Amino acid sequence: METVTPAHREALADILLPIADDAWIAGQRGSEWLGMAPDLEEDLALSSISQDALGHAQLLYDVLAELGNREADEQVYARPASGWRHCGLVQAPRQDWADFVARRYCYETFDDLRLHALAAAGHAPLQSALAKILQEKLYHVRHFDTWLQTLAWGGTQSRARLQEAMAGVFAELGDLFSWGEGASALTLWNLTALSSLRPLWESRVRDRLEQLGLEWPRVGAKESDGRLGEHGPEFADLLAEMTSVRTMEPAGEW
Amino acid sequence: MAVVTQAEVWEKLGTVPDPELPDLSIVDLGMVDHVAIENGMVHVELMPTFVGCPALHWIQDKVEKALAPFPSTVEFVYHTPWTADRISPQGRERLTAWGVAPPNRSGQPLACPLCGSDQTRRTSEFGPSLCRSIYYCDTCQQPFEAWKTL
């Protein structure tokens, strides 16, 4: 019989918040492409993927709430910027399509590895949530991999722009692999495999870039650590927009 | 008040439609995991087909209305993930009749729900809702939707 002590509960929040926050912010940024994607099919696809991502975040917030942490609505609408644990990779404002494809390919590949490793956690509600999330994740990983291939083989211009975008994204990877203050939490839950995902990610991405004849760019050093709540001024704008409707009528029923 | 039976509850649940495919009920889709009746109170456990499905609250409301006057609670559960194999044979027929190809694990090309041809190809893994992809039939030259094979 599983026993969740208060220490385990707090530790699980340290482990799940970065993952859930990454999904929420990726969903929010993805939805900013509505009506702007390269074609109608992509508009539909990205809308679905963003809706999935917000759903995944909510389900993970729900797992935390069942253990006595704050409710999903509170997580999203009542946390100060410094309480968020997402990485810089998912937070970047919308630029061009090559940047978005490079960015999301890197994120989805990492998140897929991370979620599979997380499935070893001995907490039944989390395992059930992950089983469902991973069914849908498969589609997201495949979608951005297809786009990576499309741009790599599309023509001279798309290839050059993808390569340039990949270099820009790699320079910002820093805190993707960080666990901030959550490293001891991983030990408590026997999930230390989660702290050594970087070589797995590098090996998978390196193979793919090689197959597509793309260069492996330099990975940037960590300038600020989103896992410690350091998000830069652009997050203040994003958070203000995300919570603007709720702020108008904080006690309203939605 | 008379006590409602399991059979009556399932019959009523069979009248709750999918919001976008009204010929298809949540029973056809295999979304109903468990029904419990205790002291006249009906408790229904539903398995979401997709985590972020925006129709869940709508479905919950329709279930409660379908079961009225019996009081009911509806809970979404994840202990077993919903998979496409839970769609009933009747559900698969109704999907096809509605123009949506049912899920397919065979590895063979999907049959076009409009003309039956297997000369079909996927044009996008994502469609107008989370649960559907878009295909094209080269025989009748029509686009069609297919339920994702989760």
Q: What is the rounded distance in angstroms from the CA atom of residue A221 to the CA atom of residue A212?
A: 25
Q: Do A53 and B52 touch (CB under 8 A)?
A: yes
Place of tokens 């603007």: A244
A2 inside 8 A of chain B by CB: no
How large is the average pLDDT for residues B26-38?
96
Mean pLDDT of B41-69: 94
Residue of B nearest to A46 (CA): B126
**A80 prior amide bond cis, ω within 30:** no
Q: Which of A147-151, A248-252, B137-141 shows the lowest mean pLDDT across its residues?
A: A248-252
Distance in angstroms (rounded) separating the CA atoms of residues A217 and A198: 15
- Substitution target from A115, A123, A132 for chain B, most B beta carbons within 10 A: A132
Distance CA B100, CA B144 (A): 7
User: Do A136 and A112 touch, CB atoms closer than 8 A?
Assistant: no
Q: Which residue has the tokens 């029509």?
A: B142
In whole angstroms, give the CA distance from residue B91 to residue B77: 21
Tokens of A207: 């193979």
Q: Which A positions 140-179 lie with beta carbon below 8 A of chain B?
A: 142-143
Instruction: Report the distance separating Cα A89 and Cα B33, nearest Å.
Output: 39
Instruction: Give B130's contacts in chain A (Cβ within 8 Å).
Output: 48, 51-52, 136
* Rg, Å, chain A Cα set: 18
Q: Are A70 and A40 in contact (CB under 8 A)?
A: no
pLDDT digits (tens, 9 = 90+) for A54-88: 999 999 999 999 988 889 999 999 999 999 999 99
Question: In terms of CA atoms, which chain A residue is nearest residue B128?
Answer: A44
Chain B neighbours among A 31-60 (CB < 8 Å)?
Answer: 41, 44-49, 51-56, 58-59
Indicate the SS3 state at residue B17: strand
> Which tens digits make up the pLDDT trace of A182-228?
889 999 999 999 999 999 999 999 999 999 999 999 998 878 999 99
Element holding B73 (H helix, E strand): strand B72-76
Q: What is the model's pLDDT at position A48?
A: 93
* Better-scored residue on pLDDT, A252 or B68: B68
pLDDT bin (cut points 50, 70, 90) of residue A1 is very low
Rounded distance, CA A163 to CA A154, Å? 12
Strand partners, B121: B136
- Residue of A135, A138, A253 to mutate, testing the B interface (most B Cβ within 10 Å of its Cβ): A135
User: CA-to-CA distance for A97 and A38, rounded, in angstroms?
Assistant: 8
| CB proximity B141 to A under 8 Å | no
Give the mean model confidence (pLDDT) for residues A141-154.
96
Name the nearest CA neighbour of A219 among A204, A236, A202, A237.
A202
Give me the torsion for CA of A196, A199, A203, A208, rounded to 10°: 80
Q: Could you read off the pLDDT of B89-121 as tens digits, one per residue? A: 999 999 999 999 999 988 889 999 999 999 999
How deeply is A59 buried, as exposed, middle or buried, from its count of CB atoms within 10 A (0-12, 13-18, 19+)? buried
The distance of Cα A95 from the centroid of its chain, to the nearest Å, equals 18
DSSP states along A9-63 = HHHHHHHHHHHHHHHHHHHHHHHTTTTTSSSHHHHHHHHHHHHHHHHHHHHHHHH
Q: Are B30 and B87 in contact (CB under 8 A)?
A: yes
Would you say A213 and A118 are in contact if contact means Cβ atoms under 8 Å apart? Answer: no
Position A3 pLDDT exceeds 80: no
Contacts of B127 in chain A (CB under 8 A): 44, 48
